[in-house]
Chain A
Amino acid sequence: MAQGWGLGALINLDHYGHYIHWGVIQVSVGNFIVMVLMVASFLAALFAPFPGRRNRKGAK
Protein backbone atom coordinates (compact mmCIF):
# COMPACT_ATOMS: atom_id res chain seq x y z
CA MET A 1 0.00 0.00 0.00
CA ALA A 2 0.93 3.62 -0.32
CA GLN A 3 3.55 4.81 2.11
CA GLY A 4 1.89 8.23 2.59
CA TRP A 5 3.07 9.50 5.91
CA GLY A 6 4.98 6.54 7.14
CA LEU A 7 2.00 4.40 8.01
CA GLY A 8 2.85 1.67 5.52
CA ALA A 9 4.32 -1.62 6.64
CA LEU A 10 7.85 -1.59 7.95
CA ILE A 11 7.99 -5.28 7.20
CA ASN A 12 6.02 -6.05 4.09
CA LEU A 13 4.09 -9.30 4.29
CA ASP A 14 2.47 -8.80 0.90
CA HIS A 15 4.53 -11.47 -0.85
CA TYR A 16 3.34 -14.93 -1.67
CA GLY A 17 3.43 -16.81 1.59
CA HIS A 18 5.41 -19.77 2.82
CA TYR A 19 3.67 -22.96 3.78
CA ILE A 20 4.50 -25.96 5.89
CA HIS A 21 3.47 -29.32 4.48
CA TRP A 22 3.33 -32.25 6.82
CA GLY A 23 1.39 -35.19 5.44
CA VAL A 24 -2.19 -34.08 5.08
CA ILE A 25 -1.46 -30.93 7.06
CA GLN A 26 -0.70 -27.66 5.28
CA VAL A 27 -0.36 -24.49 7.25
CA SER A 28 0.91 -21.05 6.37
CA VAL A 29 3.96 -19.89 8.27
CA GLY A 30 1.95 -16.90 9.52
CA ASN A 31 -0.72 -19.10 11.06
CA PHE A 32 1.87 -21.52 12.37
CA ILE A 33 3.68 -18.76 14.23
CA VAL A 34 0.40 -17.64 15.76
CA MET A 35 -0.39 -21.17 16.95
CA VAL A 36 3.07 -21.73 18.40
CA LEU A 37 2.82 -18.42 20.25
CA MET A 38 -0.57 -19.47 21.61
CA VAL A 39 0.80 -22.68 23.07
CA ALA A 40 3.84 -20.82 24.36
CA SER A 41 1.64 -18.21 26.05
CA PHE A 42 -0.44 -20.91 27.64
CA LEU A 43 2.64 -22.66 29.01
CA ALA A 44 4.16 -19.37 30.14
CA ALA A 45 0.93 -18.46 31.93
CA LEU A 46 0.98 -21.82 33.71
CA PHE A 47 4.60 -21.75 34.80
CA ALA A 48 5.59 -18.11 35.18
CA PRO A 49 5.57 -17.01 38.81
CA PHE A 50 2.67 -14.69 39.57
CA PRO A 51 3.82 -11.49 41.28
CA GLY A 52 2.42 -9.99 44.46
CA ARG A 53 2.24 -13.09 46.64
CA ARG A 54 5.03 -12.21 49.01
CA ASN A 55 4.13 -13.66 52.39
CA ARG A 56 1.70 -16.36 51.44
CA LYS A 57 3.63 -19.13 53.20
CA GLY A 58 2.06 -18.65 56.62
CA ALA A 59 -1.23 -17.29 55.38
CA LYS A 60 -3.06 -20.40 56.34
Chain B
Amino acid sequence: MTKKPFRPDVDAPVYKGPYVPYDIIKEGAIAVLVVFILTAALALVFSSPDEKAVTIKTWSNADAVDFAQTAGDELAGTSAVANYGAPYNNNGTSQHWGFLSPEKWIGVRIQINTTNDFVIDPLSAQPAQPALSAALSQWKSASSATQTAWDDAFNKAEPNLTYSNGKVNIPTKAAGPIPVLLNYETQMARSGALDQALVTQAGFYTTNFTKPLLFVSDGTYFAGLAEKQHLSGSQWGMMNETGQYPGQAWLWLYTFWYQIHPYSTSASADFLVWGTMMILTALMVLVPFIPGLRSIPRKIKIYRIIWREHYAAKL
Protein backbone atom coordinates (compact mmCIF):
# COMPACT_ATOMS: atom_id res chain seq x y z
CA MET B 1 0.00 0.00 0.00
CA THR B 2 1.47 3.28 -1.01
CA LYS B 3 0.63 6.54 0.66
CA LYS B 4 -0.19 8.34 -2.55
CA PRO B 5 -3.55 10.10 -2.60
CA PHE B 6 -6.35 7.97 -3.97
CA ARG B 7 -7.33 8.91 -7.53
CA PRO B 8 -10.83 7.54 -8.06
CA ASP B 9 -10.56 7.25 -11.86
CA VAL B 10 -7.17 5.59 -11.83
CA ASP B 11 -6.97 3.53 -8.65
CA ALA B 12 -9.38 0.84 -7.58
CA PRO B 13 -10.54 0.32 -4.02
CA VAL B 14 -9.53 -2.91 -2.31
CA TYR B 15 -12.41 -5.34 -2.27
CA LYS B 16 -12.89 -7.14 1.02
CA GLY B 17 -16.34 -8.55 0.39
CA PRO B 18 -17.51 -12.08 -0.31
CA TYR B 19 -16.81 -14.27 -3.34
CA VAL B 20 -19.47 -16.41 -4.94
CA PRO B 21 -19.24 -19.49 -7.19
CA TYR B 22 -19.02 -18.56 -10.87
CA ASP B 23 -18.35 -21.13 -13.57
CA ILE B 24 -16.54 -19.24 -16.32
CA ILE B 25 -15.96 -22.31 -18.49
CA LYS B 26 -19.65 -23.18 -18.42
CA GLU B 27 -20.45 -19.54 -19.20
CA GLY B 28 -18.08 -19.70 -22.17
CA ALA B 29 -19.50 -22.99 -23.41
CA ILE B 30 -23.03 -21.61 -23.27
CA ALA B 31 -21.90 -18.46 -25.09
CA VAL B 32 -20.34 -20.51 -27.90
CA LEU B 33 -23.48 -22.61 -28.22
CA VAL B 34 -25.81 -19.62 -28.23
CA VAL B 35 -23.73 -17.66 -30.72
CA PHE B 36 -23.37 -20.69 -32.98
CA ILE B 37 -27.10 -21.37 -33.04
CA LEU B 38 -27.95 -17.70 -33.51
CA THR B 39 -25.46 -17.43 -36.38
CA ALA B 40 -26.81 -20.51 -38.11
CA ALA B 41 -30.35 -19.25 -37.67
CA LEU B 42 -29.56 -15.82 -39.11
CA ALA B 43 -27.67 -17.42 -42.00
CA LEU B 44 -30.58 -19.72 -42.72
CA VAL B 45 -33.22 -17.02 -42.52
CA PHE B 46 -31.41 -14.13 -44.18
CA SER B 47 -28.56 -15.74 -46.16
CA SER B 48 -25.99 -13.17 -47.37
CA PRO B 49 -25.62 -10.83 -50.32
CA ASP B 50 -23.55 -11.72 -53.37
CA GLU B 51 -24.02 -9.31 -56.26
CA LYS B 52 -22.02 -10.44 -59.27
CA ALA B 53 -18.85 -8.51 -59.96
CA VAL B 54 -18.90 -6.01 -62.83
CA THR B 55 -16.54 -6.94 -65.63
CA ILE B 56 -15.40 -4.73 -68.46
CA LYS B 57 -17.31 -7.11 -70.66
CA THR B 58 -20.61 -6.66 -68.81
CA TRP B 59 -20.05 -2.91 -68.54
CA SER B 60 -19.29 -2.36 -72.24
CA ASN B 61 -22.22 -4.53 -73.28
CA ALA B 62 -24.62 -2.78 -70.91
CA ASP B 63 -23.46 0.74 -71.76
CA ALA B 64 -21.13 0.87 -74.74
CA VAL B 65 -21.23 4.67 -74.91
CA ASP B 66 -20.11 5.10 -71.30
CA PHE B 67 -17.40 2.54 -71.88
CA ALA B 68 -16.11 4.17 -75.08
CA GLN B 69 -16.16 7.62 -73.46
CA THR B 70 -14.26 6.33 -70.44
CA ALA B 71 -11.73 4.53 -72.64
CA GLY B 72 -11.31 7.77 -74.60
CA ASP B 73 -10.65 9.64 -71.35
CA GLU B 74 -8.05 7.05 -70.38
CA LEU B 75 -6.40 7.42 -73.78
CA ALA B 76 -6.54 11.22 -73.70
CA GLY B 77 -5.41 11.35 -70.09
CA THR B 78 -8.47 13.19 -68.81
CA SER B 79 -9.97 10.47 -66.59
CA ALA B 80 -9.97 10.61 -62.79
CA VAL B 81 -7.29 7.94 -62.53
CA ALA B 82 -5.15 9.67 -65.17
CA ASN B 83 -5.17 12.77 -62.95
CA TYR B 84 -5.04 11.00 -59.61
CA GLY B 85 -1.51 11.77 -58.50
CA ALA B 86 0.30 9.57 -56.00
CA PRO B 87 0.54 6.65 -55.64
CA TYR B 88 -0.43 6.09 -59.31
CA ASN B 89 1.13 8.97 -61.21
CA ASN B 90 2.40 12.53 -60.96
CA ASN B 91 -0.54 14.26 -62.60
CA GLY B 92 -2.79 15.35 -59.78
CA THR B 93 -2.60 17.53 -56.72
CA SER B 94 -2.12 15.33 -53.70
CA GLN B 95 -4.43 15.54 -50.72
CA HIS B 96 -2.93 17.64 -48.01
CA TRP B 97 -3.52 19.69 -44.90
CA GLY B 98 -1.21 22.66 -44.85
CA PHE B 99 2.21 21.31 -45.61
CA LEU B 100 1.26 17.80 -44.47
CA SER B 101 0.92 15.58 -47.50
CA PRO B 102 2.11 12.02 -46.88
CA GLU B 103 0.60 10.94 -50.19
CA LYS B 104 3.02 13.22 -52.00
CA TRP B 105 5.99 12.41 -49.79
CA ILE B 106 5.69 8.72 -50.44
CA GLY B 107 5.21 9.32 -54.12
CA VAL B 108 4.39 7.10 -57.07
CA ARG B 109 4.63 3.43 -56.09
CA ILE B 110 1.97 1.78 -58.23
CA GLN B 111 2.72 3.30 -61.61
CA ILE B 112 -0.38 3.70 -63.77
CA ASN B 113 -0.19 5.36 -67.17
CA THR B 114 -3.80 5.17 -68.33
CA THR B 115 -2.99 5.86 -72.00
CA ASN B 116 -0.64 2.93 -72.33
CA ASP B 117 -1.86 0.60 -69.59
CA PHE B 118 -5.56 0.79 -70.41
CA VAL B 119 -5.61 1.35 -74.17
CA ILE B 120 -2.40 1.22 -76.18
CA ASP B 121 -0.76 -1.85 -74.61
CA PRO B 122 -3.87 -4.06 -74.61
CA LEU B 123 -4.55 -3.09 -78.26
CA SER B 124 -0.94 -3.74 -79.21
CA ALA B 125 -1.28 -7.28 -77.84
CA GLN B 126 -4.20 -7.99 -80.22
CA PRO B 127 -3.62 -10.12 -83.31
CA ALA B 128 -2.46 -7.80 -86.10
CA GLN B 129 -5.25 -6.29 -88.18
CA PRO B 130 -4.30 -3.74 -90.82
CA ALA B 131 -6.54 -0.92 -89.65
CA LEU B 132 -5.63 -1.38 -85.99
CA SER B 133 -1.90 -1.69 -86.71
CA ALA B 134 -2.01 1.46 -88.79
CA ALA B 135 -3.84 3.40 -86.09
CA LEU B 136 -1.45 2.19 -83.42
CA SER B 137 1.64 3.14 -85.35
CA GLN B 138 0.11 6.50 -86.21
CA TRP B 139 -0.46 7.11 -82.48
CA LYS B 140 2.92 5.83 -81.36
CA SER B 141 4.91 7.80 -83.93
CA ALA B 142 3.05 11.08 -83.35
CA SER B 143 4.64 13.89 -81.38
CA SER B 144 3.05 14.66 -78.06
CA ALA B 145 1.78 17.97 -79.49
CA THR B 146 -0.08 16.08 -82.21
CA GLN B 147 -1.45 13.61 -79.68
CA THR B 148 -2.69 16.50 -77.57
CA ALA B 149 -4.42 18.04 -80.57
CA TRP B 150 -6.17 14.71 -81.30
CA ASP B 151 -7.09 14.44 -77.57
CA ASP B 152 -8.61 17.92 -77.62
CA ALA B 153 -10.66 17.14 -80.70
CA PHE B 154 -11.88 13.95 -79.09
CA ASN B 155 -12.80 15.74 -75.86
CA LYS B 156 -14.94 18.23 -77.80
CA ALA B 157 -16.78 15.50 -79.69
CA GLU B 158 -17.01 13.11 -76.72
CA PRO B 159 -20.47 14.18 -75.42
CA ASN B 160 -21.94 13.34 -78.83
CA LEU B 161 -20.31 9.94 -79.09
CA THR B 162 -22.77 7.23 -80.12
CA TYR B 163 -22.73 3.49 -80.52
CA SER B 164 -24.72 1.73 -83.21
CA ASN B 165 -24.43 -1.40 -85.32
CA GLY B 166 -21.36 -2.50 -83.41
CA LYS B 167 -19.50 0.71 -84.11
CA VAL B 168 -18.44 3.65 -81.99
CA ASN B 169 -19.14 6.91 -83.86
CA ILE B 170 -17.26 10.01 -82.85
CA PRO B 171 -18.42 13.08 -84.78
CA THR B 172 -15.05 14.64 -85.54
CA LYS B 173 -12.46 14.40 -88.28
CA ALA B 174 -9.65 15.92 -86.23
CA ALA B 175 -9.07 13.16 -83.67
CA GLY B 176 -6.49 11.25 -85.74
CA PRO B 177 -6.42 7.52 -84.94
CA ILE B 178 -8.54 7.87 -81.78
CA PRO B 179 -11.87 6.76 -83.34
CA VAL B 180 -10.26 3.63 -84.80
CA LEU B 181 -8.49 2.85 -81.53
CA LEU B 182 -11.68 3.27 -79.50
CA ASN B 183 -13.59 1.06 -81.92
CA TYR B 184 -11.12 -1.76 -81.46
CA GLU B 185 -10.93 -1.13 -77.71
CA THR B 186 -14.73 -1.36 -77.45
CA GLN B 187 -14.81 -4.55 -79.52
CA MET B 188 -12.13 -6.00 -77.34
CA ALA B 189 -14.04 -4.98 -74.21
CA ARG B 190 -17.34 -6.44 -75.40
CA SER B 191 -15.72 -9.77 -76.19
CA GLY B 192 -14.15 -10.02 -72.71
CA ALA B 193 -10.62 -9.87 -74.09
CA LEU B 194 -9.86 -6.56 -72.38
CA ASP B 195 -10.63 -8.02 -68.94
CA GLN B 196 -7.98 -10.64 -69.61
CA ALA B 197 -5.47 -8.24 -71.10
CA LEU B 198 -5.63 -5.95 -68.06
CA VAL B 199 -4.92 -8.67 -65.54
CA THR B 200 -2.37 -10.64 -67.50
CA GLN B 201 -0.04 -7.72 -68.00
CA ALA B 202 1.66 -8.99 -64.87
CA GLY B 203 2.28 -12.43 -66.32
CA PHE B 204 0.54 -15.79 -66.12
CA TYR B 205 -0.50 -15.93 -62.48
CA THR B 206 -2.21 -12.93 -61.05
CA THR B 207 -4.05 -11.94 -57.91
CA ASN B 208 -3.81 -8.22 -58.51
CA PHE B 209 -6.78 -6.39 -59.98
CA THR B 210 -5.56 -2.83 -59.61
CA LYS B 211 -5.77 -1.98 -63.32
CA PRO B 212 -9.20 -3.35 -64.21
CA LEU B 213 -10.67 -1.97 -60.97
CA LEU B 214 -9.29 1.49 -61.62
CA PHE B 215 -10.55 1.39 -65.20
CA VAL B 216 -14.05 0.27 -64.16
CA SER B 217 -14.17 2.90 -61.42
CA ASP B 218 -13.63 5.68 -63.95
CA GLY B 219 -16.92 4.98 -65.76
CA THR B 220 -20.31 6.28 -64.69
CA TYR B 221 -21.90 2.84 -65.13
CA PHE B 222 -20.18 1.42 -62.04
CA ALA B 223 -20.98 4.42 -59.86
CA GLY B 224 -24.57 4.30 -61.09
CA LEU B 225 -24.96 0.71 -59.89
CA ALA B 226 -23.55 1.69 -56.52
CA GLU B 227 -25.80 4.72 -56.29
CA LYS B 228 -28.83 2.47 -56.75
CA GLN B 229 -27.59 0.35 -53.85
CA HIS B 230 -27.11 3.46 -51.73
CA LEU B 231 -23.38 2.83 -51.52
CA SER B 232 -21.92 6.14 -52.60
CA GLY B 233 -19.98 8.31 -50.19
CA SER B 234 -22.55 11.07 -49.97
CA GLN B 235 -25.19 8.47 -49.11
CA TRP B 236 -23.26 7.27 -46.04
CA GLY B 237 -22.53 4.34 -48.33
CA MET B 238 -19.43 3.13 -46.50
CA MET B 239 -21.62 1.68 -43.79
CA ASN B 240 -23.98 0.02 -46.21
CA GLU B 241 -24.17 -3.40 -47.73
CA THR B 242 -25.83 -4.32 -51.02
CA GLY B 243 -29.51 -5.19 -50.66
CA GLN B 244 -31.19 -4.77 -47.30
CA TYR B 245 -28.44 -6.35 -45.25
CA PRO B 246 -26.81 -4.55 -42.36
CA GLY B 247 -23.29 -3.45 -43.27
CA GLN B 248 -20.33 -2.05 -41.40
CA ALA B 249 -22.38 -0.04 -38.91
CA TRP B 250 -19.25 0.40 -36.80
CA LEU B 251 -17.93 2.81 -39.45
CA TRP B 252 -20.66 5.33 -38.61
CA LEU B 253 -18.36 7.99 -37.24
CA TYR B 254 -15.88 7.68 -40.09
CA THR B 255 -18.75 7.95 -42.57
CA PHE B 256 -20.31 10.86 -40.71
CA TRP B 257 -17.43 13.29 -41.27
CA TYR B 258 -17.76 13.05 -45.03
CA GLN B 259 -21.26 14.52 -44.77
CA ILE B 260 -20.42 17.76 -42.99
CA HIS B 261 -18.48 20.92 -43.60
CA PRO B 262 -15.49 21.42 -43.96
CA TYR B 263 -14.90 17.79 -44.90
CA SER B 264 -17.75 17.53 -47.39
CA THR B 265 -16.45 20.39 -49.51
CA SER B 266 -12.71 19.82 -49.25
CA ALA B 267 -10.60 18.41 -52.07
CA SER B 268 -8.58 16.75 -49.33
CA ALA B 269 -11.62 15.29 -47.56
CA ASP B 270 -10.10 11.82 -47.27
CA PHE B 271 -6.97 13.10 -45.64
CA LEU B 272 -8.89 15.33 -43.22
CA VAL B 273 -11.29 12.54 -42.25
CA TRP B 274 -8.45 10.08 -41.73
CA GLY B 275 -6.55 12.59 -39.64
CA THR B 276 -9.61 13.27 -37.52
CA MET B 277 -10.29 9.58 -37.03
CA MET B 278 -6.71 8.86 -36.07
CA ILE B 279 -6.84 11.49 -33.38
CA LEU B 280 -10.19 10.24 -32.08
CA THR B 281 -8.96 6.65 -32.15
CA ALA B 282 -5.88 7.61 -30.17
CA LEU B 283 -8.17 9.30 -27.64
CA MET B 284 -10.23 6.15 -27.31
CA VAL B 285 -7.23 3.89 -26.90
CA LEU B 286 -5.74 6.23 -24.30
CA VAL B 287 -8.91 7.06 -22.30
CA PRO B 288 -7.45 5.62 -19.07
CA PHE B 289 -4.64 8.19 -19.22
CA ILE B 290 -6.62 11.29 -20.15
CA PRO B 291 -7.84 13.42 -17.22
CA GLY B 292 -11.40 14.52 -17.74
CA LEU B 293 -12.26 11.82 -20.22
CA ARG B 294 -11.52 9.10 -17.71
CA SER B 295 -13.81 10.75 -15.13
CA ILE B 296 -16.88 10.53 -17.35
CA PRO B 297 -18.01 7.07 -16.17
CA ARG B 298 -17.85 8.15 -12.52
CA LYS B 299 -19.93 11.22 -13.31
CA ILE B 300 -22.59 9.58 -15.48
CA LYS B 301 -23.12 6.92 -12.82
CA ILE B 302 -24.21 4.03 -15.02
CA TYR B 303 -22.01 1.91 -12.78
CA ARG B 304 -24.59 2.40 -10.00
CA ILE B 305 -27.04 0.32 -12.04
CA ILE B 306 -24.50 -2.35 -12.89
CA TRP B 307 -23.37 -2.82 -9.32
CA ARG B 308 -26.72 -2.05 -7.68
CA GLU B 309 -26.73 -5.33 -5.73
CA HIS B 310 -23.32 -4.53 -4.34
CA TYR B 311 -24.31 -1.05 -3.22
CA ALA B 312 -27.63 -2.34 -1.82
CA ALA B 313 -25.82 -4.99 0.20
CA LYS B 314 -23.51 -2.40 1.74
CA LEU B 315 -26.32 -0.28 3.16
Contact = CB atoms under 8 A, between A and B. Distances in A.
A13 B252 CA distance: 21
B305 A46 contact: yes
Given A18-B244, A30-B246, A9 B46 contact: yes
Contacts of B314: 60
B46 A28 contact: no
B230 A19 contact: yes
A59 B313 contact: yes
B225 to A, nearest CB: 11
B258 to A, nearest CB: 10
A40 interface: no
B247 interface: yes
Interface residues of A, number: 34
Interface residues of B, number: 33
Contacts of B260: 24
A34 B236 CA distance: 16
B244 A26 contact: no
B203 interface: no
A12 B243 CA distance: 9
B192 to A, nearest CB: 24
Interface of B: 17-18, 20, 44-47, 49-50, 228-230, 235-236, 239-247, 249, 252, 259-260, 302, 305-306, 309, 313-314
5 contacts: A10-B44, A16-B244, A18-B244, A30-B241, A59-B313
